[in-house]
Structure 1
Amino acid sequence: MTDPEGTFCLVLHSHLPWLAHHGSWPVGEEWLYQAWAHSYLPVADLLRRFADEGRRDVLTLGVTPVLAAQLDDPYSLRAFHDWLGDWQLRAEHAATLWRGRELLADLAAAEHRTASRSLEDFETRWRHGFSPILRSLVDSGIVELLGGPLTHPFQPLLDERVRDFALRAGLADTALRTGHRPEGIWAPECGYAPGMEAGYAAAGVRRFLVDGPSLRGDTSAARTVGASDVVCFGRDLEVTYRVWSPKAGYPGNGAYRDFHTWAHEVGLKPSRVTGKHIAPEDKAPYDPALAADTVRLHVKDFVDTVVSRLRELRARHGRESLVVAAYDTELFGHWWHEGPAWLEGILRALPEAGVRVTTLRGAAEAGHVAGPVELPASSWGSGKDWRVWDGEQVGDMVRDNAALQRRLLALPIPRDVRSPVLDQVVTEALLALSSDWAFMVTKDSAADYARRRAREHTERFDELATLVRAGDPAAGVRAAQLRALAHPFGRLDARGLA
């Protein structure tokens, strides 16, 4: 057998903030159900089929604790089941409305078949939530699982005690759901501050992700960080951006299904991208055959890109090298309709092209670790610094979050007896600290919703904390009311902050 061209790691980051009971359309629960139907179901199905084929170490899968909680939540499971049934009905209505319009009628029929398959998959495999499925994928060795802090906070802006609590509790929550405590994490937003590796080492984290510029562009091997044994892997942006970048990437091709254009009378997306400057009403109808041909071209292009990059790195460094490409899981299916088909295509084609496909753990075991490196303060956001989460647009939120943490750490938390009320107080604080809210404001993506969510959770924290300090028995009643709206983490124990 010839030596491999090099090693490729695909990392998928699965995350949404807590959305149940917090709005429906266009953000809120609808966001969760679309991602669930169009990304989580097909990606899990793909991984299950790979496992059945006997493949191992296909990709590294990050699942944030707050997302896992939603995909296990009884309310969310019931509501998503209803959503899938409604999807079928919408497709039936579209078939009637679009009768005689060839491409649109075919689309309605295909949409109904997909909705029916999804409903059957959900009723048979997902009926007890995501955790049994995730556990089976980890047990089979098809994925390496990455965890993270409970509610996906931007860690560099956290007090060290809050940061440590959120991370340890997040890892424990994942262990409870899957039977596996992750050794690696997707640091939220790839946010890093010098010295954080010490906290990672203390929490048992052995590897994490950073963006390529944090390693000054040299992502051909993982690196140990500072004086620690903790290893960081950098995204290879030359390869990653081939698929998805701030300005371009495959999903913008004119043949692919357009994410933004809706036929609101049926709640389906009937158009293809067509062109960047084409008005929605002028876009061409979606043509699955044309899209499938384009997927095949983009699979070949990506494989050629990876092979060329590995050969370039080998020539530069004189050794077999590593390429890490990392994306949000929600890109595949939710944002990019053809994404799951492309994903399957490249994961089958890369080994045929002589590329070793493995996980981050597998890459480390194969010897792709150099070191050490001193990492700068960084993220994967705009400018590769912290500006998305602590810039001028969100300066008030940063100040509010800092003050919230001070009030959180001043809580009178007893060490001897666990308090469900205090558990809910801490939960509300952590939900307010989610990195999503600042991101949505900075990017002007449902900014009003994001500000409202951050404010609501902060106000709920303060309301409960005031009742606790006053010894008011109404605290228990109010905490129970809030648990009905947001109770992601049954294992969360406020005493960890004492």
Structure 2
Amino acid sequence: MPHGYVALVLHAHLPYVRDTEDDFSLAEKWFHEAVTETYIPLIHVCQRLNRDRVPYKLTISLSPPLTAMMADNLVQEHYRRYLERLRELSAREVWRTRSDPRFHLVARMYQDLFESIYRTYLAYGGNLINAFRELQDNGNVEIITCAATHGYLPLIGLQREVVRAQVEVAVNNHRRFFGRPPAGLWLPECAYNPGDDAILRDYGIKYFFVDAHGILYATPRPRYSIFAPVYTPAGVAAFGRDLESSEQVWSAQEGYPGDFDYREFYRDIGYDLDYEYIKPYIHPSGLRVDTGLKYYRITGKSNYKEPYVPEWASFKAHTHAGNFLFNREHQINYLAGYMDRPPLIVCPYDAELFGHWWFEGPQFLESLFRQVAGLAHQPFTFITPSEYLERFPVNQPATPCMSSWGNNGYNEVWLEGSNDWIYRHLHHAADEMIRLANQYQTAQGLLLRALNQAARELLVAQSSDWAFIMKTGTMVDYAVQRTKKHLLNFWDLTRAVDNNDLDPEKVQAMEEANNIFPDIHYRVFASTN
């Protein structure tokens, strides 16, 4: 039996953005950047490990809004155009920097990167779900889901029907894309509300994740702390986030991503180069934005930056992977002296950290797997939560406390002065949706379409992303506009339903603008008793 286990978990999520009028939408650019810098590079890492037969295990949570965008033809076309502009820009940059060896090597690096990403994107027909499903079927990657629109369940779940709808839609969406039900569900923001586990159980979910204090303050206190899961009263396993490994990767001050040899995220040629030269590759309005080509390394804590050296950064990624391995080995050796089973270290991270925020993150992951596989004596074994539960089906019963992984560990990020106004509207709309779902049990035709669209509008309005953006102060107007727009659409539809005054053209326009969850049925909001 292994001395201990490490479960690496990446949560991939973006808010649902699909702009039918603008193929250079600033909000849709979140998706473009994440695909280029995180999702396809992670696919490449797994493909290389599979090719070289390197043993590894990785759990990836793909949220339903993210999979909806990956599968959408319009979003795929917008991304293809974005990537073609990147390819053109990188080719021009190779030519522009040809006499400057400090930057020419970096320009060539970007050109090679974008060309490989373009080839992969075309190989899967623009639908990256096919790539992730291929990795899943290979057996080394476990794909799990998240709540339907990443709704912050403790705050939007005043009505149990809302939580049930978020879970049912997510499970159905996952089964449609990946050919099997999800074993696990990533609670949005790791936010657990006691009692929600019963709904997870009803939909076949075997496990979820909480922050460390969710387990540490469970009732009763867990014997193995966060180094083994607990079974909730509903029989669903709750895995706790390890604090030590999180700090080493998350922290910009103390963690690996802050190393001075790594690429500087906040220095981009979209702002540095001559306006007329860079104009075709920034926003059509003339607004300077990030292009993704960044030529400097972190260097230090001042604004002075030195050119990026890919070889140095790769060496640091390899070194930090070795340090992570060393620390997990010593952590497991220490814990094993106090436990009568192999300790489990759960390491959950936002997927976008790897590649987007921390450019060398995918290299770090690949090096970590390769270094562990290359050791004669295995210090630990990588494992997925499902595999752990198969090996250790008996776990302590306990009720995790209400918690999240947000600042200070509870609800304050998503419920404070900038965003608290949204919840009375979400709760009121949910009451109305539940009433309609109970009232119309067998709707057909235009009425069915209108009720289904009302369910979509409410679900997207419930996304935790809008409250988070309001709190952080970035693109606040956009987050407010999205919240209000979906709620206004919802009320327009429900009033028309009640007044028997549905306009087919208006319903169709809303369906085309917000086409997430094409198979949804409004009865997901119906009361169960």
Q: Is the 8 A contact 1:9 1:363 kept in 2?
A: no
Return 66-75 or 345-354, whichever deviates more.
345-354
Q: 1:326/1:368 Cα in 2 relative to 1: closer, same or farther (>3 Å)?
A: farther
1:238 to 236, 241, 244: 244
Q: 1:88/1:167 Cα in 2 relative to 1: closer, same or farther (>3 Å)?
A: same
Map 1:69-468 → 2, pairs under 5 A: 69-124=68-123, 126-127=124-125, 129-157=127-155, 158=157, 159-216=159-216, 218-225=225-232, 227-245=233-251, 248-264=254-270, 265=273, 266=278, 267=291, 268-276=293-301, 278-279=302-303, 282-351=304-373, 352=375, 353-367=378-392, 370-411=395-436, 414-418=440-444, 419-468=448-497
Deviations for 1:368-390, whole angstroms, at most 9, x for unmatched residues? 85311121110111111111112
Aligned residue pairs total 490
Deviations for 1:17-69, whole angstroms, at most 9, x for unmatched residues? 11121877784111100100111111112223333445666111111111101
Structure 2 portions without partners, runs of 5+ = 218-224, 279-290
Q: CA deviation at 1:407?
A: 2.7
Q: 1:370/1:139 Cα in 2 relative to 1: closer, same or farther (>3 Å)?
A: same
Aligned to 1:59: 58
Return 175-184 or 390-399, whichever deviates more.
390-399
Q: 1:109/1:54 Cα in 2 relative to 1: closer, same or farther (>3 Å)?
A: closer
Q: CA deviation at 1:395?
A: 1.4
Structure 1 portions without partners, runs of 5+ = none
Q: CA deviation at 1:392?
A: 3.2
Q: CA deviation at 1:398?
A: 2.3
Q: CA deviation at 1:367?
A: 1.9
Distance 1:57 1:401 in 2: 42
Q: CA deviation at 1:447?
A: 2.4
Deviations for 1:417-453, whole angstroms, at most 9, x for unmatched residues? 3412211111011101001111122222322222221
- Does residue 484 (structure 1) correspond to residue 512 (structure 2)? The answer is yes
Aligned to 2:14: 16
One-letter identity of the residue aligned with 1:8: V
Distance 1:256 1:25 in 2: 29
Distance 1:362 1:56 in 2: 15
Name the SS of the counterpart of 2:421 in structure 1: helix
Q: Is the 8 A contact 2:4 2:381 kept in 1?
A: yes
Distance 2:345 2:254 in 1: 20
Name the SS of the counterpart of 1:390 in structure 2: coil
Q: CA deviation at 1:184?
A: 0.8
Q: 1:56/1:141 Cα in 2 relative to 1: closer, same or farther (>3 Å)?
A: farther
Q: CA deviation at 1:103?
A: 2.1
Distance 1:5 1:368 in 2: 18
Distance 2:18 2:433 in 1: 24
Distance 1:148 1:293 in 2: 35
Aligned to 1:32: 31
> What TM-score does the superposition give when structure 1 sets the normalisation length?
0.94
One-letter identity of the residue aligned with 2:314: A
Return 195-204 or 94-103, whichever deviates more.
94-103
Q: Is the 8 A contact 1:6 1:322 kept in 2?
A: yes
Q: Is the 8 A contact 2:6 2:380 kept in 1?
A: yes
> What TM-score does the superposition give when structure 2 sets the normalisation length?
0.88
Q: Is the 8 A contact 1:222 1:368 kept in 2?
A: no
Distance 1:308 1:366 in 2: 23
Return 206-215 or 22-31, whichever deviates more.
22-31
Aligned to 1:4: 2
Q: CA deviation at 1:93?
A: 2.2
Distance 1:242 1:369 in 2: 31
One-letter identity of the residue aligned with 1:215: I
CA RMSD for the aligned pairs?
A: 2.0
Q: Is the 8 A contact 1:183 1:205 kept in 2?
A: yes
Distance 1:74 1:26 in 2: 16
